[in-house]
Amino acid sequence: MGVDLPLIWAVIILFGVMMYVVMDGFDLGIGILFPFFQDTADRDVMMNTVAPVWDGNETWLVLGGAGLLAAFPLAYAVVLSALHLPLILMLTGLIFRGVAFEFRFKARAGRLRLWDKAFAGGSLTATFFQGVTLGAFLNGLPVADGRYAGSSISWLAPFPIFTGLGLIVAYALLGATWLVMKTEGPLQQRLRAIARRLTIALLAVIVAISLWTPLAHPAIADRWFSLPNLFWFAPVPLLVLGTTWLLLARLRGPGHTAPFLLTLALVFLGYSGLGISLWPYVIPPSITIWDAAGPPQSLGFTLVGALFIIPIILTYTGWSYWVFRGKVRHGEGYH
């Protein structure tokens, strides 16, 4: 029995994308929350919670993109042909956010607000267009003779726009609960209140997407609601409801770490639901991971490199978070 290389690579890419959503999501969320906090000292604390680690978080985005090119070149070509505009806008937002991270700490007082706007605007833009890309992908990409057969603006549709707005809510909640864990005092109390409202909003987004996708795509409806799949997948929505209830309870209590961990669980459950809906299609609704896979020699060769580099990424990521653990207080800083 041979090794299923496309399946292994699909797991690696899914893992990389999930790690990116988790680890870059909360620092993008901090930028999204910036307009709600006008005090410069509060903004300094918010940025200092992620300043030592933010650039390492984007390693996972590079891994996911490079893995898609190496393992599924057909999918890479189709996705870039279909979604090059939102992807370019996403990268532009990430550039503005990254530049603002570094320049804000060195800016004169008169320029500080300019970099605050760049940080918030870049974070909002990057998040929105990540969500638009996801929504357009979920909607399906038409392929004919191995090429994208749709329009370059097909992503301008209600569902992708909604998923873009929904991802803003998800990342904002990740950012708020991260800051609950990393801050204290009045700033933390304001973030708890914001996080409670964002939790309700994210639940509404999850419910809307969970209803929208099966109504728009009969194949997804059949995946979720046919027997015995209904019994196998029923725990996912039940866990979403239970996790949301626990998150709201912890946000009202004294705990600092639990809200962030529960938000991660909520995001993971949403990600799992999308995976259940799409599997095994790498280009929905017609191209599976096996259809789009590269030659076995390429998959095997690149897999050796991936299995070597992923433990290194996990090690330095874990070490950096361990070194910079603990609360960040007013007057303290990384730079």
Q: What is the pLDDT of residues 259-301, one digit of tens each?
A: 999 999 988 888 888 887 788 888 887 788 888 888 888 888 8
d(CA 334, CA 119): 17
For the chain, the domain total comes to 1
* Res 52: pLDDT: 79
* Res 2: pLDDT: 64
Residue 48 lies inside a defined structural domain of this protein: yes
Q: pLDDT per residue over 117-157, tens digit each? A: 888 899 999 999 999 998 888 888 888 777 887 788 888 88
CA neighbor of 66 nearest in space, from 122, 127, 12, 107: 12
Instruction: Return all residues near 62 (Cβ < 8 A) that are at least 6 apart.
Output: none
Instruction: Return all residues near 276 (Cβ < 8 A) that are at least 6 apart.
Output: 223, 224, 233, 236
* Res 331: pLDDT: 62
Q: Which amino acid is at 23?
A: M
Q: How far is CA 237 from the centre of its chain?
A: 20
Residue 331 lies inside a defined structural domain of this protein: no
N-to-C CA span, the chain: 54
Do 206 and 240 form a contact (C-beta atoms < 8 A)? yes
Task: Say which DSSP state 280 is in.
Answer: T
* Res 333: pLDDT: 60
In which domain, by residue range, is 139 found? 5-324
Rg (CA), the chain: 20
Residues shown for the chain: 335
d(CA 89, CA 92): 5
d(CA 211, CA 208): 5
9-21: burial string, b at 16+ Cβ within 10 Å, e else: bbebbeebbbbbb
Residue 292 lies inside a defined structural domain of this protein: yes
Task: Say which DSSP state 109 is in.
Answer: G
pTM above 0.85, yes or no: yes
Residue 122 lies inside a defined structural domain of this protein: yes
Distances (CA, A) of 108 to 34, 48, 113, 240, 251: 19, 18, 10, 45, 37
Structure tokens that stand for 62 in this block = 């590079």
Do 80 and 95 form a contact (C-beta atoms < 8 A)? no
Do 78 and 147 form a contact (C-beta atoms < 8 A)? yes
Residue 330 lies inside a defined structural domain of this protein: no
Residue 248 lies inside a defined structural domain of this protein: yes
Other residues' Cβ atoms within 10 Å of the Cβ of residue 143: 22
d(CA 90, CA 127): 7
d(CA 146, CA 305): 28
Residue 308 lies inside a defined structural domain of this protein: yes
Residue 20 lies inside a defined structural domain of this protein: yes
Whether pLDDT at 307 is above 80: yes
